Structure 1
Amino acid sequence: MVKKRQPVEKHDTAAWANIKKTKPESNVPIPDIIDVENAKEYVEENKK
């Protein structure tokens, strides 16, 4: 029997932390538009 382990990471501040909805078949989380914009801004600011 395989024991399930608790995840190590905390995803409280990730783009998917504020889930607006979930796709019905694939169960993929759709983040709120504010979080998508914040993630995009973060990536653009941290480009080399």
Structure 2
Amino acid sequence: MAKNRIKERFMGVPIESHDTAAWANIEDTKPVSNVHLPSETEVRNAKEWVDTNEK
């Protein structure tokens, strides 16, 4: 148990920041499934990011 104390201490620290993700600025949600729909500009930004970071 002693070796897991460091792991337990840092479990609450988030690894990634999702502030700029396409789903961060939710424009609308679908009524039945509660799926988040991002705005059109966020979709364009996400596509642009994917296109520029292709291998």
Same fold? TM cut 0.5: yes
Identity rate of aligned residues, in percent? 60
Bigger radius of gyration among the two: 2
Q: For structure 1, list consecutive stretches of 5 or more residues without a partner in the other structure.
A: 1-5
Q: For structure 2, list consecutive stretches of 5 or more residues without a partner in the other structure.
A: 1-11
Runs of 4+ aligned residues of structure 1 deviating over 2 Å after TM superposition are: 8-11
Deviations 1:1-48 (A, max 9, x none): xxxxx7x35422110011010001110000000000000000000111
- Does residue 41 of the first structure (1) align with residue 48 of the second (2)? yes
More helix by share: 2
- Aligned residues between the structures: 42
TM-score by length of 1: 0.76
RMSD between aligned residues: 1.4
